[in-house]
Amino acid sequence: MRKYEDTYRHKGLRKKLMDTLRAKGITDEAVLEAMNNIPRHFFLDSALDEIAYEDRAFPISEGQTISQPYTVAYQTQLLQVRPNEKVLEIGTGSIYQASVLAEMGAKVFTIERQKKLFDKTKDFVFKSRYNNIKFFYGDGYEGLPTYAPFDKVIITAAAPFIPPKLIEQLKTGGKMVIPVNEGEHQRMLRLTKNADGSYSEEAFDNFSFVPMLSGRNGGN
């Protein structure tokens, strides 16, 4: 059984990481406060304990990664999450991004296509602290029609195109933050849904994500 400890050293490293994020241009204090409250090292293999607060992505399992803290902060800031909003996340991965949204008071619905990663969510260390996260095994391209519409949608994998069903499942005025392929990298886009079902688009910086794949992988 793994022992989870959040020491003064971890807390100190975390504060420093928040200063790094501020220096890189993150200004939303609600995002920084949420990230400062969450022990990121709990979401990584215990062997990575010492380096968990470096501003970089790390491998989790099934060839996937926990996003770089800067990327998490950037996407969360663009999403403009407010307490009690319904947020759909595509790509549960390590559950770190979902936890940041939950810490900010959102009702989080998160989908993972890798069965082994989904199965790990049953042992999530913050299951009761973040009882506002619901986990789903499925294909993110389909979204969650049963729980729609959502105030916000966040995609944490590189999308080859904007999935039409996810636009459908947004409320009017709702926003989607999505990294869309553009050559080697992805361009971060924020889409806002209009009353007629169309959307307007704002473009931000380039990032590098693992691919958003279709279908489920493993199990049924």
Is 76 one of the binding residues for ligand SAH (CB under 6 A)? no
Does 212 contact ligand SAH by CB under 6 A? yes
Is 140 one of the binding residues for ligand SAH (CB under 6 A)?
A: yes
Q: In angstroms, what CA-CA distances link 134 with 21, 41, 86, 106, 178?
A: 28, 22, 11, 11, 20
Q: How many residues bind ligand SAH (CB under 6 A)?
A: 24
108 lines the binding site for ligand SAH (CB under 6 A): no
- 117 interacts with ligand SAH by CB under 6 A: yes
Amino acid at 123: D
| Distance (Å) of CA 4 to CA 40, 124, 190, 201 | 11, 12, 36, 42
Min dist CB 116 to ligand SAH, Å, is: 9
How far apart CA 145 and CA 156 sit, in angstroms, is 19
Rg (CA), the chain: 16
User: Which tokens belong to 33?
Assistant: 């406060």
The 153-182 site mask, x for binding ligand SAH (CB under 6 A), equals ---xx-------------------------
Per the annotation, the verdict on 67 as an active-site residue is yes
Name the phi and psi angles at 121, rounded to 5.
-65, -20
Smallest gap from Cβ 59 to ligand SAH, in A, equals 10
- What one-character-per-residue DSSP string does 124-162 give? -TTTTTTTTEEEEES-GGG--TTT--EEEEEE-SBBSS-
Q: Considering the rule CB under 6 A, would residue 75 count as an interface residue with ligand SAH?
A: no
Q: Establish if 65 lies at the interface with ligand SAH (CB under 6 A).
A: yes
Rounded CA-CA distance 38/83 in Å is 17
Question: Of the listed 67, 94, 198, 208, which one is catalytic?
Answer: 67
Helix (H) or strand (E) holding 188: strand 185-193
Work out which of 41, 67, 121, 143 binds ligand SAH, going by CB under 6 A: 67
213 binds ligand SAH (CB under 6 A): yes
Tell me how far, at minimum, the Cβ of 196 lies from ligand SAH, in Å. 27
Binding-site ranges for ligand SAH (CB under 6 A): 64-67, 90-91, 93-94, 96-97, 111-114, 117, 139-141, 156-157, 210, 212-214
